Structure 1
Amino acid sequence: MLTRSNDRLDVDLLVMPETNLILLASVIEPMRGANRISGSELYRWRLLTPDGSHVLTTSGIPVPAAGGFGMEQEETPLFVLASYNWRRSSTPALKMRLSRAARYRSIIAGIESGTWLLAEASLLDRLSATIHWEDFDDFSLAYPHVRAVKDRFVITSKRITTAGSLPTVDLMLEIIRQRQGYTLALEVSRLFSYEQDSVHSETQLSPSGTGLHMRDPRVVQAVRLMEENIEQPIVLTRLARRVGISARHLQGLFQQSTGAPPHVHYLALRLNAARRKVIETKAPFADIAAATGFNSASAFTRSYRASFSESPSDTRRRLRRPVTASEEQP
């Protein structure tokens, strides 16, 4: 599941009663966003419940089920979603089904309180796992054979756990990054951006920063400069000088904040801007290349193909956009 691939990933979501609606959205919406932005069905999900009937979320909105969670020998990754009163769902039958599923499922994930259910089924023994901060102490005492850690999410070879709704968004962005690359993950993260109108400081969130934890104001400032200079990219040394630190220091801050060096983030911003123009306009590719900081159409096409696994012409053709003869040039 966590290897580079553009093949469709099917995921089963086992939703427990009294799950938060935002938790369910935290899993689904990044996958939906990746599908929409890519123009491909990269992800498909199926909603399951313990008995196959709908379950009510904490907001009273029912979640319909495609089926019940049974004893099938499925290899599809399984995400177990739970929020409040998870103990009511932790029946011997459910624990047995989870234990059996672990023999076949490529990955089983405990989403928020789903971590409790995985631990109850002894699926986290001798593994690292995380849990919502309010439950950390109780969880650590209840399961001494689980290495509880205070991380937003934890990925091991066949288990995943998350510490809440927003950490689950982070997890889904990381899955997209590992499967489709940093560029798509960055563009999906922009779907979850927001800005408070009452805040007018230099540390205000950049649209590209949401979901990537760009809390350091120097990183935020550098990203804003990148976004304002797509057509004529700023070299790293000059960018760092304008932020007020050394290029080496800026590289370290970027790596800590985004998991990528500045040049990778900058290229991702430019490629995402270019892809929007490829999809949403009829502009010739040479014009798009110039508008996004590439010195030639051929250099743009090479970089585009390396990131999106198809050429700009392929994208337009696949999405059935009308093109002109000039747009077909590489």
Structure 2
Amino acid sequence: MSFDNLSRVTQERPLRMLLVNAGEADAITWAGLVQPLRLAAATLGRDVLHLETMTPAQVVLAQPGWHIALLVADEGQAPMAPELSRAVIERCRSAEYWGGVGAGVLWLATAGLMAGVRIALPWALYADTEGISERAILTPHLFELDGRHLSCCGGAASIDFSLTMIEHLFGATVQATIKESLCIERVRGHEERQRVALQARFGALQPRLSEAVTLMETNIEEPLSTDDIANLVGLSRRQLERLFKQYLGSLPSRYYLELRLQRARQLLLETNHSIVQVGLMCGFSSGSHFSTAFGALFGNTPREERQRKLSPPV
């Protein structure tokens, strides 16, 4: 689901947003999320954005009525006591949009509240998902919006998540003001992946999945077929597709295509290769296929993406 859907809650005034800090106040997961939103609240005024930050104990005593509520904790944070956890989660779920950041995502999934939902979970917590009976769909993305469910992997991605919400809730001009205040040049999109070695992300949990994605990453210019990849890692096509669906929320062919397009986007922004060259370097023999696929994923053409590199920021 597109983050554009968040804009419907801005019809309410003020927009009430709750951030529950279940971790350390100086953790980057918390600071990266709350600081842009505090600046937005100061810029817009309390009658437009009413931002509330609370501890778990405070939330239990608070009056519900939030439009957006997020449970936040750094990935190394120990879980809350069961009774407190249940009470906090119930308060968060009363919001129109709700979810978690960092370890908060895992806690919600462990509570069985993310079944069938695409979630962005810190890669370091992947090994802790084996005991979850109501399966969530783990994606490698920085953050996700699926139905009413928001999730972010935390860490530095909290900044991108916070600024993305600001843009879709209050517009690009407000976001640009906050970016300038924080000296941030580029906001990463939700579809960008956590930059971490696959072996570290999956480890011994799913070695064949890790091997399959490594094959994709090392064969960008001349893509392999799904059958070839399955044979190389010692699985049937159906087994490989099942692994990708369960852990990455995608089919191998779709994941591979997005991987190539991500690489193309990087080349367009960071190199001087022509658009045709970039397409060929990422396995697209047809310029029209490259442009169509790129537009479907990113919402603009390769030429427009290149223009971002050439144009000064507004």
- Whether TM exceeds 0.5 here: the answer is yes
Matched, 1:173 2:142: yes
- Answering whether residue 25 of structure 2 is matched by residue 19 of structure 1, we say yes
Instruction: Please say if residues 173 and 185 of structure 1, whose CA atoms lie closer than 8 Å, have aligned partners that are also in contact.
Output: yes
Change (3 A) 1:236 1:45: same
SS at match of 1:189: coil
Cα distance in structure 2, aligned partners of 1:291 and 1:215: 32
Q: Matches of 2:255 and 2:94 in 1, distance apart?
A: 23
The question of whether the paired residues in 2 share the 8 Å contact of 1:240 and 1:250 is answered with yes
Structure 1 pair 139–243 and aligned structure 2 pair: CA distance change class (3 A): same
Q: 1:5 matched to which residue of 2?
A: 4
1:204 and 2:195 equivalent?
no
Runs of at least 5 residues in structure 2 that lack an aligned partner in the other structure = 108-119, 123-140, 151-163, 165-187
Q: Which residue of 1 aligns with 2:103?
A: 164
Note closer, same or farther for the CA distance 1:160–1:250 as it changes in structure 2 (3 Å cut). same
CA positional deviation for 1:296: 1.3
The residue that corresponds to 1:106 in the other structure is 67
Deviation at 1:189, TM superposition (A): 1.5
Cα deviation for residue 81 of structure 1 reads: 6.1
Cα distance in 1 for partners of 2:205, 2:52 equals 29
Change in 2 beyond 3 A, CA 1:90/1:265: closer
Q: Does the aligned pair in 1 maintain the 2:29–2:101 contact within 8 Å? A: no
TM alignment of 1:175-190, pairs within 5 A = 175=144, 184-190=189-195
Shift of 1:27: 3.8
In the alignment, the residues of structure 2 paired with residue 173 and residue 163 of structure 1 have an alpha-carbon distance, to the nearest angstrom, of 10
Partner Cα separation in structure 1 for residue 217 and residue 224 of structure 2: 10
Deviation at 1:25, TM superposition (A): 4.9
For residues 241 and 155 of structure 1, what CA distance do their matches in structure 2 show? 47
Match among 232, 252, 255 for residue 262 of structure 1: 252
Cα displacement (A) at 1:319:
3.0
Q: In structure 2, what residue type is equivalent to 1:230?
A: I
Closer/same/farther in 2, CA of residues 163 and 218 from structure 1, 3 Å limit: same
The ranges of structure 1 where at least 4 consecutive aligned residues each deviate by more than 4 angstroms after the TM superposition are: 6-18, 72-76, 78-82, 89-92, 145-148, 153-157, 165-169, 176-180
Amino acid in the other structure paired with 2:79:
E
Specify the structure having the higher radius of gyration (Cα). 1
Instruction: Sort the Cα spacing of 1:253 and 1:13 in 2 relative to 1 into closer, same or farther, 3 A.
Output: same
Q: Contact 1:107/1:158 (CA < 8 Å) preserved in 2? A: yes
> Which residue does the alignment assign to 1:253?
243
Of the three residues 278, 291, 301, the one matched with 2:268 is 278
Could you say what the CA RMSD is over the residues aligned between the two structures, in angstroms? 4.7
Please, which of 48, 71, 80 is the counterpart of residue 135 of structure 1? 80
Kindly indicate whether the alpha-carbon contact (under 8 Å) linking 1:230 and 1:292 is maintained by their aligned counterparts in 2: yes
Match of 2:160 in 1: none
- Structure with bigger helix share is 2
CA distance in 1 between counterparts of 2:47 and 2:203 reads: 38
Distance 2:84 2:4 in 1: 35
Does structure 2 conserve the Cα–Cα contact (< 8 Å) formed by 1:279 and 1:321?
no
Equivalent residue pairs, number: 234
Equivalent-residue separation in structure 1 for 2:53 and 2:245 (angstroms): 31
Give distance in 2, aligned partners of 1:163 and 1:276: 26
Q: Quick check: 1:75–1:106 contact (8 Å CA) kept in 2?
A: no
Answer yes or no: is the 8 Å Cα contact 1:79–1:108 preserved in 2: no
